[in-house]
Amino acid sequence: MSLKCSTCGKKVISEENFVQFNCPSCGKENIVRCHACKVLSRHYICKNCGFEGP
């Protein structure tokens, strides 16, 4: 299982402060965000439906 940040592609498996949640639009894709992208409020794009969110 390899968790990568949906925004920057960095592996978050070794990080403590990352979040993961289902896409708020389609609910199917698992969105992962590393701590840096969360703090900087970088946008992510759902690979399944293309939803873009903060």
1 versus 41: smaller Cβ distance to Zn ion: 41
CB of 14 to Zn ion, least distance (A): 13
Binding site for Zn ion (CB under 5 A): 5, 7-8, 23, 25-26, 29, 34, 37, 46, 48-49, 51
Which of 28, 14, 24 has its CA nearest to residue 44?
24
CB of 46 to Zn ion, least distance (A): 3
- Pairwise CA distance, residues 27 & 17, whole Å: 22
CB of 48 to Zn ion, least distance (A): 4
